Amino acid sequence: MNFAPLLSAPAVVSRAAERAEFPQDPHGAHPARFPTGERVRGGYFTPQKEAFVNLMLRNRRIVALAATLFLAAVPVAAAYAQDPPAAPKPDDTTGKDAKPAAPGVVVNANLETYFTYNFNNPGDRKNFFLYNSRDREFGLNYADIRVSKAVTPDSRTGFTVRLIEGDVKRPTLSAADFEESDNLLEAYGSLLVPLGTRDLKVDAGQFVTHLGYETIDIGTNNFFSRAFLFQIPIPFYNAGVRASLPLGARTVVTGFLLSQFNGRTGDAYKDLAPGLQVVQTLSPTASLVFNVLGSREPVAISETESQGKYLSVYELLYINQFTPAFKLGLDGVYRHWEDTEDQYGVAGYGTFTVGKGSIVGLRGEYLKIDPDGGDDTDLSSLTLSFEPRSSLFTGARTLLEFRYDHSKDAIFGDDNGGSKKDQYTLTIGQTFSF
């Protein structure tokens, strides 16, 4: 999140402002406080005035020098007394051909810290989460630095590089990628290709996945922990090429050609993974998103052999800002892995603005995992969050979160070294964006 720096200009004292506290005569001079006397040449002449005039006549050179300095100082004082002139704008024109300046390189940084208390008191002090997984410890959940340059019709090449650190790094990056570059999440170049009256945006390199309602960093989400629908059925990032083209005022289509289902390297198969995203604007406040991704992925058939099986994920998202105070998001996911397993789940996200901008969030989800030839299992969670808002700390967010998790099987650790079907956690998270 970019925000403007706080600037303070030095105060400029105006001589005219100093005089404003005194009553003025119609000509702007100090009030005439001389005693009345003989009227001479349009004014009143007193003995004091006569002595003063004689003194000035005897020191004509000094008076001339003082007058010269005074005249030279008037325009300088006037300049300080007025508001400083506005700085000239680059390429500032008043005609219809005026163009905005080309975007430059932008540097952003984000930081997420947390403390999570698990009421199960697991012996290994691990929460059954993908992120913020440490129990009763202050943790660095996520930190990143992004360097980027956007593409526009006036500057048609750009790039993005994002480096990450924190608890999210190890579970997000694939094992092979982690060995090669354990901080690189995104690195891609961008082109804006003119196609008639439209522009085709092409990105090539490594970028985060197009699937999911939630993201690796909190971003604009209102929950600190991530849902099971983000954690299990979908990938985190990919390497390849994507191209996005608007098909009208309300429809944008993006095609993907990727190396594999998740990550950049390490897949034994050379098949490319195709993907698609269609974003349909339904109204000024509502949109519908369809995502799909398919890839042939290795499945172990013995200790030494594996076989490629086709893995595909289909997702449908619905987002609607019903009122300025209420937003609803719905996420449905179906994942099929040939001769291996099926996964399907749904999640709902509701946020309510209360008071002077504070946000209350409610998230519920259900995920079923049905392996071929094995016992199925399911996971569900209910999360309540509160985010107080304050204009005092720009770029900082505080999130308070209570989460309840349930599973058909006992998978959540407890204080006796065993496991339970339920888990209760309380988290306070603090984020910073620059």
> CB pairs under 8 A, 24+ apart, for 326-331?
326/350, 326/351, 326/352, 326/353, 327/351, 329/213, 331/212, 331/213, 331/229
Q: Does 76 share its domain with 174? A: no
Q: Does 63 share its domain with 158? A: no
- Which of 97-111, 254-268, 370-384 has maximum average pLDDT? 370-384
- 229 has a pLDDT exceeding 90: yes
Q: Does 139 share its domain with 49? A: no
Q: Tell me if 18 is assigned to some domain.
A: no
- 225 has a pLDDT exceeding 80: yes
Q: Does 198 share its domain with 235? A: yes
Q: Does 70 share its domain with 204? A: no
Percentage of the chain with pLDDT > 70?
74
Look at residue 324 in the predicted model and tell me its pLDDT: 94
Structural domain span for residue 46: 35-83
Look at residue 97 in the predicted model and tell me its pLDDT: 53
Average pLDDT over residues 92-117: 76
Look at residue 60 in the predicted model and tell me its pLDDT: 45
Q: Tell me if 338 is assigned to some domain.
A: yes
Q: Tell me if 17 is assigned to some domain.
A: no
Q: For the chain, give the mean pLDDT.
A: 79
Percentage of the chain with pLDDT > 90?
52
Q: Does 282 share its domain with 407? A: yes
Assign residue 276 the CATH number of its domain.
Answer: 2.40.160.10
Q: Tell me if 24 is assigned to some domain.
A: no
Alpha helices in 20-59 (DSSP H): 47-58
Q: pLDDT tier at 53 (50, 70, 90 boundaries)?
A: very low
Q: What is the tens place of the pLDDT at every residue in 301-329?
A: 777 788 888 999 999 999 999 999 999 99
* Residue 99: how many other CB atoms lie within 10 Å: 10
Say how many domains are in the chain. Answer: 2
Average pLDDT over residues 77-84: 40
Q: Does 311 share its domain with 179? A: yes
Q: Does 235 share its domain with 137? A: yes
Q: Does 290 share its domain with 166? A: yes
Look at residue 265 in the predicted model and tell me its pLDDT: 78
| Cα radius of gyration rounded to whole Å, the chain | 34
Look at residue 297 in the predicted model and tell me its pLDDT: 86
Q: pLDDT tier at 375 (50, 70, 90 boundaries)?
A: confident
Report whether 1 contacts 433 (CB < 8 A). Answer: yes
Q: pLDDT tier at 112 (50, 70, 90 boundaries)?
A: very high
Q: What is the tens place of the pLDDT at every residue in 158-176?
A: 999 999 999 888 888 877 7
Lowest mean pLDDT among 292-306, 336-350, 377-391: 292-306
Q: Tell me if 225 is assigned to some domain.
A: yes
Q: pLDDT tier at 100 (50, 70, 90 boundaries)?
A: low
- 87 has a pLDDT exceeding 80: no
> Of residues 232 and 415, which shows the higher confidence score?
232
Q: Tell me if 102 is assigned to some domain.
A: no
> Of residues 125 and 23, which shows the higher confidence score?
125
Lowest mean pLDDT among 11-25, 387-401, 407-421: 11-25
Q: Does 229 share its domain with 161? A: yes
Look at residue 138 in the predicted model and tell me its pLDDT: 92
Q: pLDDT tier at 211 (50, 70, 90 boundaries)?
A: very high
Dig out the tokens for 34 from the structure. 């001389």
Whole-number Å distance between alpha carbons of 265 and 211? 19
Q: Does 415 share its domain with 266? A: yes
Average pLDDT over residues 46-51: 44
Q: Tell me if 96 is assigned to some domain.
A: no
Look at residue 298 in the predicted model and tell me its pLDDT: 83
Q: Does 220 share its domain with 275? A: yes
- 7 has a pLDDT exceeding 50: no
Q: Tell me if 193 is assigned to some domain.
A: yes
